Amino acid sequence: MTQAPTHVTDCPLDRTRPPDSSTRSLGPVVAIDLGTTNCRVAAMQGSNPVCIPSERMEGAPAVVALGPGGRILTGHPARGQQAANPALAVWGIKGLMSAPYGDRKVKWLYDQLRCKVVRGEDGLPAVVLGDRTFAARELAALILIEARERAQNFLRQPVHRAVLTLPPTRKEEPLSKAMSEAAALAGLHLERLISEPTAVALGAFGRHKGKPERTAMVCDWGGGSFRASLVRYAPRQCQVLGTEGNVALCGAELDKRLLDMLMRKLPTGSRIAGDANNPAALYRVAGAAEHAKIQLSTQEEARIRVPFAVNAGGQLGDFDVALTRRELEELARPLIDSALKMCEQVLEQKTMFPGDVDEVLLVGEQCRMPLFQQRAQEFFVGVPIYLDEPGPSVVLSAARLSSTTSTPPPSGTATPAPVRR
C-alpha cells in the first residue's frame, strides 16, 4: 500500500468558477445522471441522445479519492485508488446527500464506507480526505466537474448548462437542494431537476401510440439502492403516484453477500492476504466477484481468479473459486423478494394490484439479472416488462426531455407534472 498523502495539493473545485449570467443560455444542455455507483452524461446529437463514454464505458464510477501527491481524483482513477486504498476513497455520494448525518435510512451506506465520515456544516455527512473535509455537495460537484469535462471533450465546446436526474423527492428535501448546490459548484447552470422514473416513463412513451394514458411501475435496481415508483403518464405529462426505496437492497449488498459466501469456499486454514491496514487483496477479490456476478447474467458459470490474494499457512497463493448462476441466485432471492414486496406496498398505497399496471419498466444495471426479470414476470402476471438499456436509459431520456421545447411546466410537487426545477 502506498503511503497515504496528508495534504490535498490539487483539487478541481479550486479551479472551477460558479456559473455567471453571461453563460446562462450559452451552448448545449447536457443531461447528467449522478448515480450512487456510476455517473453518466448524455447530449443530443441531431435528434438522438447519446451517452458520452468514459474510457470506453458508458459511465464513470461516481467515486472521489485522494490520490498520490495529494491530488483529488474522480471516475476511473478514483476507482483504482479505492481498490488500493479504500480509506482514501468515497462512493455512494448520492446516498450521502440524501439524508442528514447519522440518518438510519442510509446506515447501510455508512457501514460500507472505509473513509472518515463526519457531520458537515449543513447537517449532511461530510468526508475527510487528507487535511480537507468535503461536504457531500462538494463531492457531488467533483463528480459533476468530471462529467462536464467529459461532455466538453466529446462535444468540443464549453458546457455551461445541465439537467440533472434524481429520485422523486420534494424540492425542499436535502437531495434536491444538495444537487442544485453541487451543480453551481461545478460551474453549471441547472436547467432542471428531472425525476428518474419520470424520465424513464416519458422516454418509454414512444412505444405506445394508441393509449393516451398509461400506468407503469418503474423498478430501478442500481448499485446503491432499489426503488419502486408507480407513475401515470401521457405524452409530455407524468405523475409519480407513489415511490419507495431502500439502500440496503442494492446491487452492492448482493456483492457483499457474494463476497462472504466466496470466503466460506476458501479451504480451511486459508485467508485473504493482507490485513485491515492492507486490504488491497480483499478489494481485488471483491472486484473480481462483482465481475463474476455480471458475467452470470449471461452465462451459467464463472470463475473468480485473483493472483496472490490468498495466504495459506504463510504462503501466498491465488484466490481461485468457481461460482454458478444458481448459487448467486440463492443469495439474490431474499433481496429480490423484498424488492417486489416494495412494489406491492407502493401499489397497496393506491389500492392497486400488480395486474392494474400497463407495464413494468426495469432500469438500473442490476435488473439485468435474469432471476429478477423472472420473478418480476411472476409477480406482475401477464403485464409486459421492458428492459431497455437499463444503465443509460435515465440519462438518455433526460437528454431528450431537455431538448424538447414543449416540455411540461416546471412545478414543485404539484401534479401532473413530471419535470421540476
Copy the grid coordinates of residue 199: 424520465
User: Which of 208, 256 has the CB closer to ligand ADP?
Assistant: 256
Selection from Mg ion, ligand ADP, none that 70 binds (CB < 5 to 8 A by kind) is none
* Helices first, then strands: H and E counts in the chain: 11, 21
User: Which of 187, 364 has the CB closer to ligand ADP?
Assistant: 364
**How many Å apart are CA 146 and CA 412, to the nearest integer?**
29
User: Which of 87, 398 has the CB closer to Mg ion?
Assistant: 398
Least Å distance, CB 394 to Mg ion, is 6
Sites of contact with Mg ion (CB under 5 A)? 35, 222
Q: Secondary structure of the chain: what % helix, strand, coil (to 5)?
A: 40, 30, 30
Least Å distance, CB 57 to ligand ADP, is 10
Selection from ligand ADP, Mg ion, none that 223 binds (CB < 5 to 8 A by kind) is ligand ADP
User: Which of 164, 282 has the CB closer to Mg ion?
Assistant: 164
Picking from 272, 271, 377, 371, the residue whose alpha carbon sits closest to that of residue 328 is 371
Beta bridge partners of 161: 29, 189
Beta bridge partners of 89: 65
Least Å distance, CB 223 to ligand ADP, is 3
Selection from Mg ion, ligand ADP, none that 138 binds (CB < 5 to 8 A by kind) is none
Selection from ligand ADP, Mg ion, none that 262 binds (CB < 5 to 8 A by kind) is none
User: Which of 134, 226 has the CB closer to Mg ion?
Assistant: 226
The alpha helices in 59-168, defined as continuous H runs, are 75-84, 93-97, 107-112, 136-155
- Residue 18: CB atoms within 10 A of its CB come to 11
Beta bridge partners of 272: 310
Residue 82 φ then ψ, to 5° = -60, -40
Selection from ligand ADP, Mg ion, none that 366 binds (CB < 5 to 8 A by kind) is ligand ADP
User: Which of 168, 222 has the CB closer to Mg ion?
Assistant: 222
Least Å distance, CB 38 to ligand ADP, is 4
**Type and span of the H or E element at 182:** helix 174-185
Least Å distance, CB 320 to ligand ADP, is 21
Sites of contact with ligand ADP (CB under 6 A)? 35-38, 222-224, 251-252, 290, 293-294, 297, 364-366, 368-369, 391
DSSP secondary structure string for all residues of 222-291: -SS-EEEEEEEEETTEEEEEEEEEEGGGSHHHHHHHHHHHHHHTSPTTEEESS-TT-THHHHHHHHHHHH
Selection from Mg ion, ligand ADP, none that 195 binds (CB < 5 to 8 A by kind) is none
User: Which of 155, 371 has the CB closer to ligand ADP?
Assistant: 371
Least Å distance, CB 222 to Mg ion, is 4
